[in-house]
Amino acid sequence: MEFFNLLDTQIHHYLDSATHELFQCKLRDRALMEMPNFSWCSHCQFGVLHESKTLEMKCPTCYKSTCFKCKEQWDDVHKYMSCDQFKLWKMQCQDGKVWVYLAKNGIECPSCRFRFDLWKGGCLHFKCTQCLHDFCGGCRKPFNQGSECGFSENCCGRGLHAHHPRDCFFYLRDWDVERLQQLLQHNEIQYKSDFTKGPFEGFFESLRTTFQLDMETDEEDNANDKTEDKEYLVKIINANVLDPVDLYTEEEMTTELLRWNVPSPQKCGEESPQAYLKSLQMKIKQEIPLCVK
């Protein structure tokens, strides 16, 4: 902030008034977002300095209320339930496909819990528009810049990176659909075989028509279908806390141990390949357990 304040004094002579005013507004917003009692109103574009200890935050501009903790638009029923219960109540009470769509595809910032919607299928690195927190859209692990990450010395030479668990979509998106299905079948988990069909069939096409979006080519549609298939399967895998290590090859297990700085067990001379795979698997499960979501 000191750097940008100094920069402001140096560049305002060269900027037109509108651009300079925008620059100052951004500086102000950045300073406000660093204050622990500041939050944006969920009804309008203004922010509020919330001094009360109650969850209800009233906006002096639009006179509407927002929950200071979960950032949801306020309802008096929230007084009697937690933020998670309130979100569930809102989804159960609201009609229409939009709420179902947001529940299925919405992204919630793990830092400030602001919820927004992005068209997924590409990069899993997300930056919250409110608190600027960098996180993974698959496992919600933070993305850290090089030396800011204290996991190991190797992180210092890396750029923006996160330490994803092995069941994160960041890794499992590289599996083909058949292998993801095999992991579910291996654990006797039921799932829809025709998982591309459902309540959202035709919904995305109606959005494109409503907002006059360009239709994708067949090749792009097929790629998106594959991504949606994988996202569906990985959601079931994560919900049941299934461990992908059950289907790992020896090379994948060695890579997993190396990734978390865990030494691989020594292979005995008379040990069979199957027995060594089992010892690698047990080492991973004991030393690098999955985090329950």
146-181 pLDDT, tens digit each: 888 888 888 888 889 999 999 999 999 999 999 999
Catalytic residue among 123, 128, 156, 291: 123
CA angle 251, 225, 228 (to 5 degrees): 65
Q: What is the DSSP string of 58-117?
A: E-TTT--EEETTT-PBP-GGGGGS-HHHHHHHHHHH--SHHHHHHHHHEEE-TTT--EEE
Model pLDDT, residue 94: 58
pTM score of the predicted model: 0.58
Percent of the chain past pLDDT 70, that is, above it, reads 81
**196: nearest Cα among 167, 230, 170, 220:** 230
List C-alpha distances in Å: 10 to 6, 14, 23, 122: 7, 8, 12, 39
Phi and psi (nearest 5°) for 48? -135, 135
> Known catalytic residue: 123?
yes
53-98 pLDDT, tens digit each: 889 999 999 999 999 999 899 988 888 788 988 887 777 665 445 5
Spans of all domains in the chain: 94-164, 168-244, 248-293
Model pLDDT, residue 199: 42
112-134 pLDDT, tens digit each: 877 776 655 568 888 888 788 99
Q: What is the rounded distance in angstroms from the CA atom of residue 113 to the CA atom of residue 135?
A: 12
What band does 225 get if pLDDT is binned at 50, 70 and 90? low
